[in-house]
Structure 1
Amino acid sequence: AIKEGPYLGGAGFEMRQALRPAAQTARPVAQTARPLALRRRLSTLHGGADALRKPYPPSHVLTLGEINPNVLSAQYAVRGELVQRAAAIKEEMAAGSANVPFKKVLECNIGNPQAVGQSPIGFNRQVLSLMVCPALLDQPGVDALFAPDAIARAKEYLAAIPSGVGAYSDSQGFRIVREQVADFISSRDGLPASPEDIFLTDGASKGVGFLLSLILRGGGSDGLLVPIPQYPLYSATLALQETHMLGYELDEAAGWSLPISLLEAELEDAQAKGVATRALVVINPGNPTGNSLPYDNMVECIDFCAKHGLVLMADEVYQENIWDGGRPFHSFKKVLMEMSPRPNLQLVSFHSTSKGFLGECGLRGGYFEIVGFDPEVKAQLLKLISIGLCSNTLGQIATGLMVQPPRPGDASYEIYSGERDAILASMKRRATMLVDGLNALEGVTCNQPQGAMYAFPSITLPPKAIAAAKDAGKVPDTFYALALLEATGIVVVPGSGFGQKEGTWHFRTTFLPPESEMTDVVDRMTAFHADFMGKYA
């Protein structure tokens, strides 16, 4: 019994019985003899009955000095200090505080459309509802509650996925959804795509993580070319993996263009320092800059990567968010396949249900497609993904619905297309309204976004404001953004969280609050900015 140990029953159970008060253990002699004998044995082995009553030594608690130092160094500004302070303010408001000078916190810090009032697309949610509860399909009156094409789509998915969404899928994702993604890419680009090259992921971010885990070798000698400004996912992930972030600065004066000469210079500098550059990240349309790359610039990026043997990681999650008709979206795959002669290139393209007009951020749906990878490396990528079993199944279905929406002639097409067009048209109006308001502010300049969901204005801060920020222990644009939050309730992200040209200051703001609130956003910003500039003039 002693050999069984206290966690396996046996002696553990008998010890608990032996240590109970007499009133609880009063039993016939035959039943109590064994615990008494056990107590004698334990007393002999462990120095007497008192040994059983000694307290456990104090348990050790991890300290910051003992955790992974890379976690301490990683920063993710999109949910950093500003967001934490905004959460505290909301708690104060909920408690009835009279010290808050506004009635609502306006979260312009993150591309999370449904959090600020955007409604989900009806067709998609109907199909998802039926996937979560297939028994609804057998209920009387289901035809009155769900559109016929939503019912048909749910049945199509359930026929291909007989175990439903509550079971693990293949690690690469449901075959039927990967086929739909391949059809979408083929239709978009006019080129063939294979479901074998498609991997379904929990949003695009998880896919980025998988690819970086695959290509970065650890040891601190690898580097990744990343745009400045950049989405902090990249800098945070590289910090965790002890990889050099090789930032190449986009040209703000030229509409955030991508000068290839800077890529060459950054690569040469990395080589001189013994850093092995592994890949180039391009975010198109841009986050946080809102730029959309011209075709010729994309050709230059492909040539650069092919010349130097770099993987090209194309973050294309905003491909539906195009506001400048003169800069249409082109996928890097399409540009690559149209080049003659075609360079040898390893390309990864990412997409997500979180952006575009769907805004299904919480469902965590997405995919990536690989082109030009060695089959043995592809097998290792699948092994890496399989460690996490699979991406969430509802996100996979949401991805299928993103790439294969209702088509003309389907029962839901008119409603679907109306919802889509209204959301995109409203986003464009909100973008124009916001950027026009920003450009009217003293010392503020902002490029009109050509795509994505963000504006990234440059602010010329007075020397007294910069000095006050230093005294407060804050970066100047963080100081400005915190003051904006405290005065107006508007949450933005300081440009320092994305990286910016030395000596410049920015902030990123979405234009996602409802159109009815955008005038209020602009008015609050205008009043605050005038007071701030006057205070530190």
Structure 2
Amino acid sequence: MEALSVRGEELGSEADLMEQGLDLCSQDPYDRLRNPQGYISAGFAENRVCLDLMKKKLLRSYMNCLEPSLLKINSPMGIKSLREETACFLTHYCHSPAPLDPENIIIMNGCAPIMCALSAAICDPGDGFLTPTPYYSRLALYTGAYSGLQPVCVPLDSQVTEDHTYPFALTIKKLEEGMEEAKQQGITVKALILTNPHNPLGEVYSSHLLTECLEFASRHSLHVVMDEIFMLSVIDADFTSVLSLHDLSDPERTHFVWGLSKDFGMSGLRVGVLYTQNKHVLHSMGRLAILHQCPGPIQHMVYQVLRDRDWLDKVFFPTNKKRLRESQKTLVTGLEKLGIPVLHRSTGIYVWADFRKFLTSPTFEAEMELWDQFMAEKLYVTPGKTFACCEPGWFRVTTSLHDHLLQVCLQKIKKVLQVEQETDDKSNSICKTS
């Protein structure tokens, strides 16, 4: 359209597979009683196992507050009481060696706006950000919306070698190769973006690998954006937050992002947190935060949730982890009976599942054919192509669903694959890492 700018045309181009899946699942959602023929949504990284606990919490009388102070214009950085409580919360649950400064925190209406604004603050149009793939590819949309930042992919594959001791292993050598590739393409890389736990692989980075990545970034004068949106959804591994490290290689260029969408199952409330020690970034972000403020009453609700440590530690977190572990076991056991191995099982919200042997050919065209069959069966799972995976046949499948939905999901997968019993083919058993 002539009325649109070039950027407008790019933003208005054909919807990606995630958007297509969201639209279909929203328009025709599965309901056990009212719409059993609707779409099962097992492709979005949403935590739905503790909605009952959160609903009960949010309906308490002190949660709904419409005091004038919450209805007036507040600081674009976030209401002071929430920033202070968030600093205490992150200090405790991220095991920070020293209390975090609330002045280094910005509250915005979701992590996507934080990524948009942060990329504009630290990068110029046409710059690149380095990230291992497969990755949550909507990052390219978020970081490119304001600044035109482009991804520089570091492909990871499932091959196990002497150097790569587990599937999809991230190494500093691969990051260096990514930097060299960007240089040859004339792209100036300004940032390294890492998601820990990884999305979609589910890997939890060791403290050693995390430190190596930070040192790599420091050598190349890169900003590091650590997205830890799933940090409290780790169920069977030791998690190391970047905020727990005693000596950061470059604290001025290290930025922490977290929100309540995943760990608390509160995607609809739209609350994101940025922690950075860089005052220049804070100032620039503060200007852009005006466009992305979180409503005062919502900030009040989040403040009340974060401050109730007794409820969090004795009720919500133990129940959440128990249910996440149970739901993951249900789905993983069911998948493996169908001959579908999964990768890491550290994150309780999704798994990276290996459907390669069910493809008609080792191509992305065949992957999309299989995805079309799932969609025809009214089951949405996310294909690896969406995550810029270099190998066809991998899918991210949500585990954080109630048992009945998981059973229906497994029935649909079984029907599409036409598998009657556990396969004896162990050719992909290498992916069964825990």
Q: Report the TM range for the smaller structure's normalisation.
A: 0.7 to 0.9
1:447 equivalent in structure 2: 343
2:244 equivalent in structure 1: 334
Is the contact made by 1:232 and 1:498 (CA closer than 8 Å) also made in structure 2?
yes
Change (3 A) 1:132 1:451: same
1:213 equivalent in structure 2: 120
Is the contact made by 1:458 and 1:504 (CA closer than 8 Å) also made in structure 2?
no
2:333 equivalent in structure 1: 436
- 1:264 is aligned, of 150, 163, 176, to 176
- Asked if 1:486 is matched to 2:376, the reply is yes
- 2:414 is aligned, of 526, 529, 533, to 526
DSSP 3-state at the match of 2:68: coil
Is the contact made by 1:108 and 1:491 (CA closer than 8 Å) also made in structure 2?
yes
- Asked if 1:427 is matched to 2:324, the reply is yes
Deviations 1:220-256 (A, max 9, x none): 2x10012211112212234544333111134545154
Segment drifting more, 252-261 vs 68-77: 68-77
Larger radius of gyration: 1
Q: Name the amino acid aligned to 2:306.
A: V
- Asked if 1:77 is matched to 2:42, the reply is no
Is the contact made by 2:330 and 2:403 (CA closer than 8 Å) also made in structure 1?
no
Give me the whole-angstrom Cα distance separating, in 2, the residues matched to 1:95 and 1:123.
24
2:47 equivalent in structure 1: 113
Deviation at 1:120, TM superposition (A): 4.2
Is the contact made by 1:251 and 1:259 (CA closer than 8 Å) also made in structure 2?
no
Q: Name the amino acid aligned to 1:243.
A: L
1:352 equivalent in structure 2: 259
Give me the whole-angstrom Cα distance separating, in 1, the residues matched to 2:55 and 2:27.
34
1:393 equivalent in structure 2: 296
Deviation at 1:294, TM superposition (A): 0.8
Higher helix share: 1
Pick 1 or 2: higher relative contact order, CA cutoff 8 A, min separation 6. 2
Is the contact made by 2:42 and 2:380 (CA closer than 8 Å) also made in structure 1?
yes
- Asked if 1:496 is matched to 2:385, the reply is yes
Give me the whole-angstrom Cα distance separating, in 2, the residues matched to 1:270 and 1:67.
23
Give me the whole-angstrom Cα distance separating, in 2, the residues matched to 1:362 and 1:519.
26
Q: Name the amino acid aligned to 1:176.
A: S
Deviation at 1:531, TM superposition (A): 6.2
Give me the whole-angstrom Cα distance separating, in 2, the residues matched to 1:246 and 1:481.
26
1:190 equivalent in structure 2: 97
Is the contact made by 2:108 and 2:273 (CA closer than 8 Å) also made in structure 1?
yes
- Asked if 1:179 is matched to 2:68, the reply is no
For this pair of structures, how many residues does the alignment match?
412
Give me the whole-angstrom Cα distance separating, in 2, the residues matched to 1:258 and 1:70.
31
Give the gaps of 5 or more residues in structure 1.
Answer: 1-60, 97-101, 135-161, 408-412, 468-473, 533-537
Segment drifting more, 456-465 vs 344-353: 456-465
DSSP 3-state at the match of 1:247: strand
DSSP 3-state at the match of 1:121: helix
DSSP 3-state at the match of 1:328: coil
Q: Name the amino acid aligned to 2:243.
A: K
Deviations 1:167-208 (A, max 9, x none): 232110000111111112222323121111000011222211
1:33 equivalent in structure 2: none
Is the contact made by 2:194 and 2:226 (CA closer than 8 Å) also made in structure 1?
yes
1:248 equivalent in structure 2: 154
Deviation at 1:351, TM superposition (A): 1.1
1:457 equivalent in structure 2: 353
Change (3 A) 1:123 1:288: same
Is the contact made by 1:185 and 1:191 (CA closer than 8 Å) also made in structure 2?
no
Change (3 A) 1:208 1:271: same
Deviations 1:347-385 (A, max 9, x none): 1111111111x20111111211003x2x34432222222
Change (3 A) 1:482 1:191: same
Give me the whole-angstrom Cα distance separating, in 2, the residues matched to 1:462 and 1:380.
49
Deviations 1:22-51 (A, max 9, x none): xxxxxxxxxxxxxxxxxxxxxxxxxxxxxx
DSSP 3-state at the match of 1:280: strand
- 1:201 is aligned, of 104, 108, 121, to 108
- TM-score, normalising length from structure 2? 0.84
DSSP 3-state at the match of 2:52: coil
Q: Name the amino acid aligned to 1:352.
A: G
Deviation at 1:344, TM superposition (A): 5.2
Percent identity between the two aligned chains: 18
Give me the whole-angstrom Cα distance separating, in 2, the residues matched to 1:86 and 1:338.
45
Change (3 A) 1:526 1:265: same
Give me the whole-angstrom Cα distance separating, in 1, the residues matched to 2:274 and 2:389.
28
Is the contact made by 1:223 and 1:244 (CA closer than 8 Å) also made in structure 2?
yes
Q: Name the amino acid aligned to 2:242.
A: F
DSSP 3-state at the match of 1:165: helix
Change (3 A) 1:123 1:198: farther
- 1:318 is aligned, of 222, 225, 230, to 230
Give me the whole-angstrom Cα distance separating, in 2, the residues matched to 1:283 and 1:365.
18
Change (3 A) 1:350 1:343: closer
1:130 equivalent in structure 2: 62
- Asked if 1:507 is matched to 2:395, the reply is yes
1:231 equivalent in structure 2: 136
Change (3 A) 1:526 1:309: same
- 1:363 is aligned, of 269, 276, 286, to 269
Deviation at 1:451, TM superposition (A): 1.6
Give me the whole-angstrom Cα distance separating, in 2, the residues matched to 1:239 and 1:86.
27
